[in-house]
Amino acid sequence: MTVPPENPEPPEEPTPPPAAPPAEDPTAPAPSADDEEDREGPRRRARREREQRRAVKDRAMAIEEARREAKRRATSGPVREATPIPRRAVRGLKVLVWSALLSVAAVGVGLLLYFTPIMSVRDIVVVGLEAIPQEEVLGAAAVVPGTPLLQVDTDAVAERVATIRRVASARVQREYPSSLRITVVERVPVVVKDYPDGPHLFDRDGVDFATAPPPPNLPYLETATPGPNDPATEAALQVMLALPPEVAGQVGRIAAPSVASITLTLVDGRVVVWGTTDRTDEKALKLAALLTQPGRTYDVSSPDLPTVK
């Protein structure tokens, strides 16, 4: 017979399975903002508050800008949209600006050269002189050394030089950086006339430009009132200038009591009856041929019938 143990342990009860979470009731109320704020941390709450304050500030600024724009439109009318400037206009504006800058620079350089001795007269060169002393030309020019070249009136200097009796013409040129060039054309004697104070030299224009001994073989002029405005003097000079050099060198005297009775006397005593100045060039050619023939008087007053006596 089996004896049961004392105080027997009761048998272990089985563990029940875990209860499933209760299903959400759709009719249950949603959690409030306060519940959500309770679940937020302090940092997230502070960040959210800053974003809200920033959004409120931006909205206020947008409203204020809209008010200003509305007020500006009400006072000034509709705002026109800016028209874009064409590319060609921009290029033209640039060209205009550069042109203006270059003009200003050129004016500045010109003023600098005009008022300062950077490019001043240091040398005066005179060319074309034969009988006129250079000192006489420089004295008539009256250009002060050191004068800026741009301040020198070249026309005025040329006019002063041309007042010299022997000067037929004068030209003055600037030669940068520091020279002035004076080109002189002297008068050339064509005829000479005796006066009580000595022989006077006359050029091709009938200008009495010097009282001096005449060059060799220069013909003497016989007119009543020689001068550039005397018709007889002008006719006699016209004949002398038309003669070939080999014939003109043989003339010792030319008489022109009038424009219609011109006579040449050669250095060997032969006489040439010229007559008027009509067909002067033709008469000069006929005379050159006639002088090869022996005779004492050569008449070319009628070039169609020249004669030798």
What's the pLDDT band for 209 if we cut at 50, 70, 90?
A: very high
For residues 57 and 156, what is the distance between their CA atoms, to the nearest angstrom? 84
pLDDT band at 63 (very low <50, low <70, confident <90, very high): confident
Q: Kindly tell me if the per-residue pLDDT of 34 is higher than 70.
A: no
Inter-residue long-range contacts of 145-148, CB under 8 Å, 24+ positions, other chains counted: 145/120, 145/121, 146/117, 146/120, 146/121, 146/122, 147/120, 147/121, 148/113, 148/114, 148/115, 148/116, 148/117, 148/118, 148/119, 148/120, 148/121
Q: Looking at per-residue confidence, does 87 or 209 come out higher?
A: 209
Q: Which amino acid is at 163?
A: T
CATH 3.40.50.11690 at 187-306, yes or no: yes
Mean pLDDT (whole number) for 82-100:
72
Reported confidence tier of residue 194, pLDDT bands at 50, 70, 90: very high
Mind listing the pLDDT tens digit for each residue in 299-309? 999 999 999 99
How far is the C-alpha of 232 from the C-alpha of 24, rounded, in Å? Answer: 148
> So where are the chain's domains?
118-184, 187-306
What value does the mean pLDDT take over residues 5-17? 47
Q: Which amino acid is at 174?
A: R
What is the structure's pLDDT at 103?
Answer: 74
Per-residue pLDDT, 128: 95
Contact 178, 123 (CB under 8 A): yes
CATH architecture of residue range(s) 118-184: Roll (3.10)
Map the chain to HEC letters: CCCCCCCCCCCCCCCCCCCCCCCCCCCCCCCCHHHHHHHCCHHHHHHHHHHHHHHHHHHHHHHHHHHHHHHHHHHHCCCCCCCCCCHHHHHHHHHHHHHHHHHHHHHHHHHHHHHCHHHECCEEEEECCCCCCHHHHHHHHCCCCCCEHHHCCHHHHHHHHHCCCCEEEEEEEEECCCEEEEEEEECCCCEEEEECCEEEEECCCCCEEEECCCCCCCCEEECCCCCCCCHHHHHHHHHHHHCCHHHHCCEEEEECCCCCCEEEEECCCCEEEEECCCCHHHHHHHHHHHCCCCCCEEECCCCCCCEEC
| CA 273/CA 42 separation, integer angstroms | 142
pTM flag (> 0.75): no
- pLDDT mean over 102-110: 64
Over residues 110-125, the mean pLDDT reads 72
